[in-house]
Structure 1
């Protein structure tokens, strides 16, 4: 009997290890997120007292029009509260497509431009494409029709294998910064139409870059050398999707910290599926405040972001995935509130318009696709199922080495 009991206890222990850990989030972070995605105190007091039921848009409008809010219009918090109910899950519509993988896509700060980068032949492209999203061709606020000339970041560089992993606009929209496979950070001046700054910042591919503030003098970067760095003239890791199968939400990234992962299995995300026994392994130095699960990472690093502050109060976290979908998580509950699926290959990057309920996905199937908060399912301009296709690269070279 003792042997049976011990065996039962071991079996029970195994089951507990295999079960998903319960989602928790820091009380401080939860409070801040709620504060940014709830109506302001004045509006809540005007509409109801002590009621837990969520406010409807009609109730907010009624309170404003009846003067119960003191004659004031909607506050930024009120707008974000209404906006976060309208998630861009309808579509997709085509933005652009090429016979190569789309690697990156990002809206400018004011939402007027979209920048995207593709793979060229068997390597990454040194050219980024800028798209105008303020056209009158259609009624959609985020109609994307005008394609600008590509910007060649390697025009005066003889490295034929120069490729771009990450791209971001500056706050004023006058520059873009890119991370590349030269272990460098490049700043491209859109007015001068040339690379204005080159910084040899890392010892491996630079996978993430961004401007730190409005000045454009500080850059954050993250690299395959496992370092996050600040460059004076850039650490993107206010939030980052790593090479595991979850989104770790951290308070901050320390300057120059060597954060090489604890090696528990022989695993390479570029061609091996994540081992099941490591799904719930927690690194002893992990300081995550919350972990969001559902998406997957395979073959390439995946980008993830907070939803816009203006329209959603940053209530959501959204990410691409190797299972050809975009996952939108509720930052407070950890639940998946939407899963956008149409693409035929990995969605490596995605970008939510800073003001309108529009989201653009860039996939290894070569498509840039647009998702809106509303739309007719019978709209003939929507991308159809028969237009789906796999990655051109994987089609040409086969998928057997990824099994």
Structure 2
């Protein structure tokens, strides 16, 4: 598939016209929009990527940033007396180079791609396909397939798969109460369940289930890799202890399918969950009440929630909703029991096969607790995912999401402006992943294509994701 067949649409109001997309312009309109987002998150985002050593001040005028070229010249002249960029200066430069060039094909499969994510350090990439196949790619070795996994006990599709923080294991689940764990670090390239390798079962059932079968929609590792939190279609939230090999926590969290769960931060104390009942709930495991009540609820979506991503600070999160919107939340605004607001769109509407009702697009939740809303993409047919951009390279100043219209959307977190729209795929983009330290984004689609987008024009594999290599390449 030639490079000339893909297209990129960027918001011309935000770019300075350079081919490298390194000049986001701040217009008066965008300055006015800065006040539409909660001041705390706006200030935190700015503080994560300041020009610490390369700002200029004219007499009687405010401080203003200098160009990247001037920053590079200043670094070579050692104007900062540090001999290198500070972390803030590094993020300031890298965040301007959006991964919008390309794409270049990583792999092409004959089945739908449901899940695709980089490992924590970016050295591995995992993709799970409809049916039973999961592939682990070695990013630093030309995207060679390190492990080809043939799953077991799956129903319909692999609904979620996740790499452990240490990259030693992968857990996958489907519409079954049994998840499975695979040793990613083993020598076997072909991992066929209980044939070439053991795929150990993680049983989420309990005696009181009485044989009732349920399925897993969402799986996430804790930061220490010792636990897995899961959301299911029996309205429950589970925490599985990998050392004890049993469920350590189970609570009925919602009134409908729990489509998405995640840990709020590295402590593992807080858990976020999102459901088809339109609620996002916050759970504090240190004081989980005997009746299973959550610590708080966030309301604002008009339809079910498909995905949640935590900023990692135990305070902010984003969510994708079937009301065709991504929302930004601050858990300090949560309520113990928000007012009930009935569903306003056509009660017979089903996002799996129907378009979103046009009359519902202008509806607003009267008790919306979110602090920002991002629109433009479409959330239809499947549980489409959204994320914060990486902290290391962008200061988390963007959010990005797949879309039913076959595109990937990137929004400015603070202004809400759409800064990029990537076009290549022929079908729904369910998942996408931004490399944690390199300006590269990989998208996967129901068309079977896995492709990578980069800030530069070349299509070679990224540099190893470690700081020593980055120093030698003069980012620091």
Q: Which runs of 5+ in 1 are unaligned?
A: 1-21, 380-403
Matches for 1:3-82 after TM superposition, within 5 Å: 25-26=36-37, 28=39, 29-40=41-52, 42-45=53-56, 50=61, 54-71=65-82, 73-82=84-93
Deviation, 1:312, is: 0.6
Partner of 1:9: none
Cα distance per residue 1:144-174 (max 9 Å; x no partner): 5322535454246599986543343432456
Matches for 1:382-401 after TM superposition, within 5 Å: none
Partner of 1:211: 263
1:318 has 2:400 as partner: yes
Matches for 1:318-397 after TM superposition, within 5 Å: 318-376=400-458
Deviation, 1:47, is: 11
Aligned partner of residue 310 in structure 1, secondary structure: helix
| Preserved CA contact (<8 Å) 1:327 1:340 | yes
Aligned partner of residue 377 in structure 2, secondary structure: coil
Cα distance between partner residues in 1 of 2:121 and 2:423: 27
Cα distance between partner residues in 2 of 1:97 and 1:336: 28
**Using a 3 Å threshold, how does the CA distance of structure 1 residues 104 and 59 change in structure 2: closer, same or farther?**
same
Cα distance between partner residues in 1 of 2:342 and 2:219: 29
Given candidates 330, 345, 350, the residue that maps to 1:265 is 345
Given candidates 232, 243, 254, the residue that maps to 2:334 is 254
**Using a 3 Å threshold, how does the CA distance of structure 1 residues 168 and 34 change in structure 2: closer, same or farther?**
same
| Preserved CA contact (<8 Å) 2:444 2:450 | yes
| Preserved CA contact (<8 Å) 1:36 1:313 | yes
| Preserved CA contact (<8 Å) 2:352 2:381 | yes
| Preserved CA contact (<8 Å) 2:56 2:65 | no
Deviation, 1:340, is: 1.3
Given candidates 298, 301, 307, the residue that maps to 2:380 is 298
Taking structure 2 as the reference length, the TM-score comes to 0.62
Of 325-334 and 70-79, the range deviating more from structure 2: 70-79
Partner of 2:145: 145
Deviation, 1:181, is: 3.1
| Preserved CA contact (<8 Å) 1:101 1:119 | yes
Aligned partner of residue 274 in structure 1, secondary structure: coil
Aligned partner of residue 221 in structure 1, secondary structure: strand
**Using a 3 Å threshold, how does the CA distance of structure 1 residues 96 and 229 change in structure 2: closer, same or farther?**
farther
Deviation, 1:322, is: 0.8
Partner of 2:218: 166
| Preserved CA contact (<8 Å) 1:226 1:260 | no
Cα distance between partner residues in 2 of 1:358 and 1:173: 26
**Using a 3 Å threshold, how does the CA distance of structure 1 residues 98 and 173 change in structure 2: closer, same or farther?**
farther
Cα distance between partner residues in 2 of 1:189 and 1:243: 32
Q: Which runs of 5+ in 2 are unaligned?
A: 1-31, 152-170, 179-200, 206-210, 287-293, 298-307, 311-316, 461-476
Partner of 1:232: 285
Cα distance between partner residues in 1 of 2:414 and 2:272: 26
Deviation, 1:242, is: 1.3
Partner of 2:17: none
| Preserved CA contact (<8 Å) 1:248 1:290 | yes
**Using a 3 Å threshold, how does the CA distance of structure 1 residues 339 and 76 change in structure 2: closer, same or farther?**
same
Deviation, 1:300, is: 2.4
Cα distance between partner residues in 2 of 1:216 and 1:26: 27
1:131 has 2:136 as partner: yes
Partner of 2:120: 109
Deviation, 1:133, is: 3.8
Cα distance between partner residues in 1 of 2:363 and 2:385: 22
Given candidates 250, 255, 266, the residue that maps to 1:199 is 250
**Using a 3 Å threshold, how does the CA distance of structure 1 residues 334 and 185 change in structure 2: closer, same or farther?**
same
| Cα root mean square deviation, aligned | 3.7
**Using a 3 Å threshold, how does the CA distance of structure 1 residues 52 and 217 change in structure 2: closer, same or farther?**
closer
Cα distance between partner residues in 2 of 1:95 and 1:106: 13
> 1 or 2, which has the higher strand percentage?
2
**Using a 3 Å threshold, how does the CA distance of structure 1 residues 166 and 96 change in structure 2: closer, same or farther?**
farther
**Using a 3 Å threshold, how does the CA distance of structure 1 residues 115 and 76 change in structure 2: closer, same or farther?**
same
Aligned partner of residue 72 in structure 2, secondary structure: helix
Of 307-316 and 89-98, the range deviating more from structure 2: 89-98
1:281 has 2:363 as partner: yes
| Preserved CA contact (<8 Å) 2:433 2:442 | yes
| Preserved CA contact (<8 Å) 2:233 2:258 | yes
Partner of 1:4: none
Partner of 1:384: none
